[in-house]
Structure 1
Amino acid sequence: MKQTFGIFTILFYGILTAQTINGKIISKENNEPIPFARIGIENENFGAIADENGNYSIDLTNIDRNKNLTVQIGGFINFSQSIQNFIDGNHTISLNEKVVEIQEVVLNPKKYYEKNWGTNAKTKKVQFGFNPARSKEDKSKEFGVDFNNNKNIKLQKINLNIVDLKTDKPLLINFNIYSKKDGLPDISLLNENLTIELTKDKIKDGTFSFDVSDKNVWINKQDFFVTIQVMNGFDGWIYLSGAMFKNVYYRNFYGPWLKKTIAQPALNIDVKIEK
């Protein structure tokens, strides 16, 4: 009888302490789901990915309740809440869109000139990419490159030199722009989400270009980072070309940013620069 009671106590305790949370991530403005958003723990390489309808499931059983759960998406104010309060509260995460009053700016050709910054390599000998079948970390990986800047600039295009793409569905690619702090990415500078579908037919001469000239992406006299994530799950891989002996910055979910000085992915940008 004592043994049976002991087993029941252990099972009952396990049920009480198990904390798999199911919920949904939506935009507070229109209650529309935010697909493929990452939900994770601040400074931890751990989390979950919402599906195309914004639904998520995350196991918080063995996570310190004093740590913060977070969702970070360009164009939205970061969501952050202690795990204990989150477990006890509402599991529908409503993200507030950033509201920024931007004065209309007319780009006078006499005051601005165009440049291309970044890595333009098209070699197949150095490659960076996402291959979920090869590595589970690739499902949550975000990587990018840094840019030194002491001018007022407007971002026009983000370009990727792609050497190999195999996929069973269109890839949902998300870009983010971060400020720099202590040599690493810090706070998103975006006031709107930069997400686009990538398919093979959009790759021209080995380059995929995302035209953001209609967006209000300004970087004013500060160094910054441009990063890339594949948001949705897929069968296959995507590989970018790369250049040796340059820096790349990366993280998984919302873990700490890491820097490697081995090679850099072929990510470059077209910008308009104030004279």
Structure 2
Amino acid sequence: MKIKFIFFSLLLFSFANSQIISGKIISKENNQVIPYARIGIENENRGALTDENGNYSIDLSNIDTSKKIIVQLGGYLSFEQIVKDFINSNNHTIILKEKVNEIAELKISPKTFESKNIGVKSKAKKMLYGFSSNGSNQAVYREFAIPFSNKKRLKIEKIHLNIAKFKTDKPIVLNFNVYSNKNKQPAESILLENLTTEITEDKIIDGTFTFDLNNYSVWVDKEDFYVSVQVMSGFKGDFGFSAALLRTVFERTFYSNWEKITAGSPAINIDVRIEKEKRPAT
């Protein structure tokens, strides 16, 4: 009888300390749900993704309640709230506000801007950053960010991913972000729009998947920056980027600290229109 009582007490204790919070993430501007958004805890590798209908369920058990709940998504202002206040809230619908474009676009012409392709261009098949999955929608995939040095004003027109392996049962959802630089690592997102797309085998041409950004406004103004990619959906099969040795990549899971890796990086490169040097008047 005593053993049963102890077991029952342990169950009650476990239930009492369980803090699984469910809710929805929506846009303030149009009240639409936001799929594939990350909700997590600052400096922790724990969190959750919203599903296709904007729903999330996050386990906050044994989390330091003085830390912050964070939601970051390209094109939206960051959401932050103390974990304790978030748990005690009666409403767990998170409302994200869209960013306001305060940067005037420049008219691009061959006289003032030139086209370049920069980044990691390896098409190696045997060296890769790979993922294997059993189809779980709860799978957590790390975010990879590639650094770019820049001293000019430029517009990102296309993002290219060189693919070494793609054998999956369904399309894979990818999310891209562009971060500013602080202390030589990714900092704040500078995107004014959310960059999410699907990759399927037929979209991979000559080993490369291209995400066209010509209809987006992705400008970088005379600063170093980072372009990141993350798998956001579950699948069955194998998927991997080509990789290059001795190149730098930054990695993290949810909102854990960025980890710098210099042994090699995934093949991510971008097409840009970059401002030409102004010639001195003669």
Give the shorter-chain TM-score range. Answer: over 0.9
Which region of structure 1 is more displaced relative to structure 2, 117-126 or 145-154?
117-126
Distance verdict in 2 for CA 1:194–1:167, change over 3 Å: same
Assess, with a 3 A threshold, how the Cα gap between structure 1 residues 16 and 200 changes in structure 2: closer, same or farther.
Answer: same
Name the count of aligned residue pairs. 275
Which AA in structure 1 matches 2:191? Answer: L
Deviation at 1:130? 2.7
> Counterpart of 2:53 in structure 1: which amino acid?
N
The one-character-per-residue Cα deviations of 1:211-235 (angstroms, maximum 9, x if unpaired) are: 1012111101100000001111111
Question: Compared with structure 1, are the counterparts of its residues 121 and 10 closer, same or farther at alpha carbon in structure 2 (3 Å cutoff)?
Answer: closer
Q: Describe the superposition over 1:73-109 as per-residue Cα deviations: whole angstroms up to 9, x where unpaired.
A: 1111111111110011121111111111443432121
Q: Is the 8 A contact 1:132 1:139 kept in 2?
A: no
TM-score normalised according to structure 1 size = 0.93
CA RMSD of aligned residues (A): 2.3
After TM superposition, the score normalised by the length of structure 2 is 0.90
| Structure 1 residue 16 displacement after superposition | 3.3
**1:21-32 equivalence runs, <5 A:** 21-32=21-32
Give the gaps of 5 or more residues in structure 2.
277-282
| Cα-to-partner distance string for 1:151-176 (whole Å, 9 max, x where unaligned) | 11010100011111011111111110
Task: Provide the secondary structure at the position in 2 that maps to 1:201.
Answer: helix
Q: Which residue pairs with 2:198 in the alignment?
A: 197
Q: Are 1:130 and 1:230, in contact at CA under 8 Å, matched by a contact in 2?
A: no
**CA distance in structure 1 between the aligned counterparts of 2:17 and 2:140, rounded to whole angstroms:** 28
For structure 1, list consecutive stretches of 5 or more residues without a partner in the other structure.
none
Once residues 9 and 121 of structure 2 are traced to their aligned partners in structure 1, the CA distance between those partners, rounded to angstroms, is 62
Alignment of 1:34-183 (within 5 A): 34-89=34-89, 90-133=91-134, 139-183=140-184
Q: What is the identity, as a one-letter code, of the residue corresponding to 1:79?
A: F
**Deviation for aligned residue 1:136:** 11
CA distance in 1, matches of 2:143, 2:171: 18
How far apart, CA to CA, are the structure 1 residues paired with 2:166 and 2:8? Answer: 52
AA paired with 1:59?
D
For residue 165 of structure 1, give the secondary structure of its aligned residue in structure 2.
strand
Distance 1:108 1:201 in 2: 33
* Aligned counterparts of 1:258 and 1:16: Cα–Cα separation in 2: 35
d(CA) in 2 for partners of 1:120, 1:135 = 31
Counterpart secondary structure, 1:255: coil
Once the two structures are aligned, what percentage of the paired residues are identical?
A: 52
After alignment, is 247-256 or 138-147 more displaced? 138-147
What CA distance in whole angstroms lies between the structure 1 residues aligned with 2:3 and 2:123? 67
